């Protein structure tokens, strides 16, 4: 117990509400391994990767070796459970996001959206074949839903089409903003069945005939993540490679709802990264003869960032507890994503302001968090879309259109 408390204090000194004490000893050990990996292997190069828009070569392999799905340490005292606890998953995403938002986005797309598309959408045979390989990172994946003309309104219909011809399907269309597509071995692609008008899911490989992938250039956020356009020209998919349990947008929504909580956790971790980056700067930078950390106005802004972090951690932790009890509530999840992303946006603005001109240089960590906050604010449901989910629950009126 004393070792666990010491590790928690080392890992999460910003956790003023002691939420991390609810973690098991095994979970803390795995989180320590994760944090050590990030700090020891990637700290010196992360800003260069962001500036140059390159992916750290070993990141996926290293995460696979961590075995964060099935590590026996995660099940000590939880015998009989099949998945890691929701609280551990919160702190895992938090820890990676505190280090870098691009890396946690790559991780979230793979182990959240992509993995869950197979887990929830696949047949028993597909789950048995693909899921273990995705969990070990033997295979990498992403999630091809959004399109050039369809983002928030994808529920209203996808322009990408799927036409059945005997035991095969022919897919045509374009997908946009697909994070990690160029790194993936298998891609779940969603398209409208031309006969029924309903969406279906298909397993497509990047090297198939008719598949052309190009990386979107000149992003100001998530520069490490290779977001891509996927062009699909008469791509043939066998019926056995159709995700058998994706037959409506409600089926797709199950995947989206399962990962929206993860984005709330990422936002929380990014606030922690903002606090750390700002503190590192103000304790070293001198102006008017003393460190910036000694000035009242600076301390007030630091206190505000810490307060935002504590609020966000509370929301994420309670959401994790609810989901751990099987309570997957759409409104609660949208509330956490909306508010934590909003508090992140506020926090990075204060942190960047504190760091002055240096805060817009990629060699300083705060520049990454400032820019990447805009992506978190936008993806997995924009602020406005999540607000409308909450508003519909409050009023009984849907104001989406």
The residue to which tokens 């089926």 are assigned: 251
* Residues carrying CATH 2.40.110.10, the chain: 154-248
Residue 336 exposed, middle or buried by CB count within 10 Å (0-12, 13-18, 19+): buried
Query: Topology of domain 2-135, per CATH?
Result: Butyryl-Coa Dehydrogenase, subunit A; domain 1 (1.10.540)
Query: Topology of domain 154-248, per CATH?
Result: Butyryl-CoA Dehydrogenase, subunit A; domain 2 (2.40.110)
197-256 pLDDT tens trace: 999 999 999 999 999 999 999 999 999 999 999 999 999 999 999 999 999 999 998 888
Query: Topology of domain 250-395, per CATH?
Result: Butyryl-CoA Dehydrogenase, subunit A; domain 3 (1.20.140)
273-298 pLDDT tens trace: 999 999 999 999 999 999 999 999 99
| Cβ count near 157 (within 10 Å) | 12
Strands 227-238 vs 168-179: parallel, antiparallel or unpaired: antiparallel
301-343 pLDDT tens trace: 999 999 999 999 999 999 999 999 999 899 999 999 999 999 9
Per-residue model confidence (pLDDT) at position 257: 80
pTM for this model (two decimals): 0.95
* Residues carrying CATH 1.20.140.10, the chain: 250-395
DSSP letters for 204-266: E-TTSTTEEEEEPP--SS-TTS-EEEEEEEEEEEEGGGEETT--SHHHHHHHHHHHHHHHHHH
Q: CA-CA distance, 29 to 44, in Å (whole number)?
A: 23
* Residues carrying CATH 1.10.540.10, the chain: 2-135
Whether the Cβ atoms of residue 221 and residue 375 lie closer than 8 Å to each other:
yes
């Amino acid at each position: 117990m004393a070792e666990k408390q010491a590790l928690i204090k080392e890992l999460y000194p910003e956790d003023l509400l002691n939420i991390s004490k609810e973690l098991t000893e095994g979970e803390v050990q795995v989180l320590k391994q994760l944090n050590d990996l990030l700090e020891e292997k990637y700290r010196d190069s992360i800003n260069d990767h962001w500036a140059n828009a390159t992916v750290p070569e070993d990141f996926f392999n290293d995460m696979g070796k961590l075995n964060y799905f099935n590590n026996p340490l995660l099940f000590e005292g939880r015998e009989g459970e099949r998945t890691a606890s929701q609280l551990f998953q919160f702190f895992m995403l938090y820890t990676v996001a505190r280090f870098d938002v691009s890396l946690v986005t790559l991780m979230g797309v793979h182990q959240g959206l992509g993995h869950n598309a197979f887990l929830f959408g696949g047949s028993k045979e597909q789950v048995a074949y693909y899921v273990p390989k995705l969990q070990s990172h033997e295979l990498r994946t992403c999630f091809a839903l959004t399109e050039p003309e369809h983002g928030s309104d994808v529920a209203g219909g996808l322009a990408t089409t799927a036409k059945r011809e005997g035991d095969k399907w022919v897919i045509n269309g374009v997908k946009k903003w697909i994070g990690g597509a160029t790194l993936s071995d298998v891609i779940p692609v969603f398209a409208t069945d031309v006969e029924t008008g309903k969406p279906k899911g298909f397993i497509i490989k990047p090297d198939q005939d008719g598949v052309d992938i190009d990386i979107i250039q000149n992003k100001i956020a998530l520069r490490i993540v290779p977001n891509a356009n996927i062009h699909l020209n008469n791509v043939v998919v066998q019926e056995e490679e159709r995700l058998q349990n994706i037959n409506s947008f409600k089926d797709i929504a199950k995947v989206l709802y399962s990962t929206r909580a993860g984005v709330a956790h990422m936002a929380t971790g990014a606030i922690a990264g903002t606090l750390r980056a700002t503190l590192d700067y103000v304790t070293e930078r001198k102006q008017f003869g003393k460190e910036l950390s000694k000035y009242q106005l600076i301390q007030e802004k630091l206190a505000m960032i810490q307060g935002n972090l504590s609020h966000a951690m509370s929301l994420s932790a309670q959401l994790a507890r609810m989901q751990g009890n099987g309570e997957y509530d759409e409104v609660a999840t949208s509330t956490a994503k909306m508010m934590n992303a909003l508090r992140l946006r506020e926090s990075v603005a204060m942190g960047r302001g504190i760091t002055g001109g240096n805060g817009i240089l990629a060699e300083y960590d705060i520049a990454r968090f400032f820019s990447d906050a805009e992506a978190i604010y936008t993806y997995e449901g924009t602020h406005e879309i999540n607000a409308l989910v909450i508003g519909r629950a409050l009023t009984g009126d849907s104001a989406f259109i």
